[in-house]
Amino acid sequence: MRVIFCGTPRFAVPSLERLAEAGFEIPLVVTQPDKPRGRGLELEPTPVKAAALARGLRVIQPEKIKHNEEFRAELERIAPETIVVVGYGRIIPQWMIDLPRHGNINLHASLLPKYRGAAPIQWAIANGETVSGNTTMRIDAGLDTGDILLQEEMAIRPDDTAVTYAPRLAETGAHLLVKTLRGLEAGTITARPQEHAKASLAPILTKDDGRIDFTRSALDIVNRLRGFQPWPGAYTTFRGRTLNIYAASPETGTAALGQVVFQDGKLLAGCGEGTVLNILELQPEGKKRMAARDFANGMRLSAPEPLGQ
């Protein structure tokens, strides 16, 4: 099967590599343009570009695709049997959807119709899910609304963050993608519509999503901390300055809602539903990461003080 691969982030790299190893013909890889990074703002290739070039695959990086006649002519010349899309980061135009015989196949990092959108891994963990997974689906004009081809569950461990869960999901998703294309070749896969009434959304994250709302339960706050790694993370303010929280756990104990207290060697914050958050590791604005005990001692925290102010 002749496949054009469209992808950008590290999550998409295993999919490209497994497809190549499985013997699929990949005449073209499409990825986002290089972006300036670091202090020197030097152009850095996308993870997919780096992986493709390492395998000797041809790469193009169009600035736009919807009304790009040169790009369209190139895809029509290649005449792919399918276009695989994994985290490409651009809306696929209808002409691309209609081009290949087997359509455009997307690997989405959730069990659709749950968590449609740009951040399914982050929101699944932030919402306290214990199971998520991957879906291969046909791309249509909607937002992750296309017919489902295959799905596979994968447990979310209690200590998983978005950073630890994503690489495992990327690897299992790559194998699911190979299985999907093999099934399409053999004619053994029947697509099924999504149950749209059961859909939920996983919108792109914003900085404000990381702001801790202490009216939530301690468990909710911990789940959001896990899900929103590495960005936007979890943060609040203390004595008027930003305080980033890197590790915390629900705790038995007492603390007034929205107040922090150093008690029995623990830095405790009062949360919603009468729960308490044990803050383990943090970073005050302008300082290095540190243990909560060191923070409490350095701040001479001898009485309850408000957070978020």
The answer on 137 and 267 residing in a single domain is: no
Output the 3-class SS for 37-104: ECCCCEEECCHHHHHHHHCCCCEECCCCCCCCHHHHHHHHHHCCCEEEEECCCCCCCHHHHHCCCCCE
83 lies in the same domain as 223: no
What's the pLDDT at 89?
95
- Please tell me the distance from the alpha carbon of residue 103 to that of residue 191, in angstroms, as a whole number: 12
Rounded CA-CA distance 70/201 in Å is 34
pLDDT tens for 283-301 read 999 999 999 999 999 999 9
Count Cβ neighbours within 10 Å for each residue of 120-140 and write b for 16 or more, e otherwise: bbbbbbbbebeebbbbbbbbb
DSSP-assigned beta bridge partners for residue 258: none
Task: Name residue 56's amino acid.
Answer: G
pTM above 0.85, yes or no: yes
- Whether residues 15 and 37 share a domain: the answer is yes
pLDDT at 200: 98
Q: How many domains does the chain have?
A: 2
Q: Are residues 41 and 152 in the same domain?
A: yes
**Are residues 105 and 177 both part of a single domain?**
yes
Domain boundary among 178, 198, 218: 198
Mean pLDDT of 143-169: 99
| pLDDT value at 309 more than 90 | no
Look at residues 116, 84, 113 and name the one whose alpha carbon lies nearest to residue 97.
Answer: 84
> How many other CB atoms are found less than 10 A from the CB of residue 204?
9
pLDDT at 279 over 90: yes
DSSP code of residue 203: P
User: Is 138 found in the same domain as 15?
Assistant: yes
Chain Cα centroid distance, residue 5: 19
pLDDT attached to residue 64: 96
> Where does a domain end: 149, 173, 198?
198
pLDDT score recorded for residue 144: 98
d(CA 86, CA 108) in angstroms, rounded, equals: 7
Residue 22: CB partners within 8 Å, gap ≥ 6? Answer: 178, 181, 182
Neighbouring-strand partners of residue 25: 2
Which CATH number does the domain housing residue 275 bear?
3.10.25.10
The pLDDT of residue 87: 98
Each residue of 84-102: pLDDT tens digit? 999 999 999 999 999 999 9
pLDDT band at 253; cut points 50, 70, 90: confident
Residue 69 Cα distances to 82, 116, 226, angstroms:
20, 30, 43
What tokens does 155 get?
A: 């447990």
- Rounded Cα distance between 104 and 89, Å, is 14
Q: Which residues contact 243 (CB under 8 A, 6 or more apart)?
A: 235, 236, 237, 282, 283, 284, 285, 307
Does residue 157 share a domain with residue 21?
Answer: yes
Let me know whether 122 and 153 are in one domain: yes
- 191 and 214 in a single domain? The answer is no
Average pLDDT of the chain to the nearest whole number: 97
CATH number at residue 153: 3.40.50.170
Output the CA–CA distances (angstroms, integers) from residue 225 to 125, 159, 275, in the order listed: 9, 11, 16
Q: Cis (ω within 30 of 0) for the bond into 230? A: yes
Q: Are 255 and 268 in contact (CB under 8 A)?
A: yes
Boundaries of domain holding 58: 2-198
Amino acid at 231: W
Q: What is the mean pLDDT of residues 75-79?
A: 98
* In a shared domain, residues 54 and 194: yes
86 and 117 in a single domain? The answer is yes
Whether residue 261 contacts residue 238, with contact meaning beta carbons closer than 8 Å, is answered with: no
The Cα-based distances of 267 to 163, 218, 230, 236 in angstroms read: 25, 13, 23, 14
253 shares its domain with 277: yes
Residue 199 in 3-state DSSP? Answer: coil
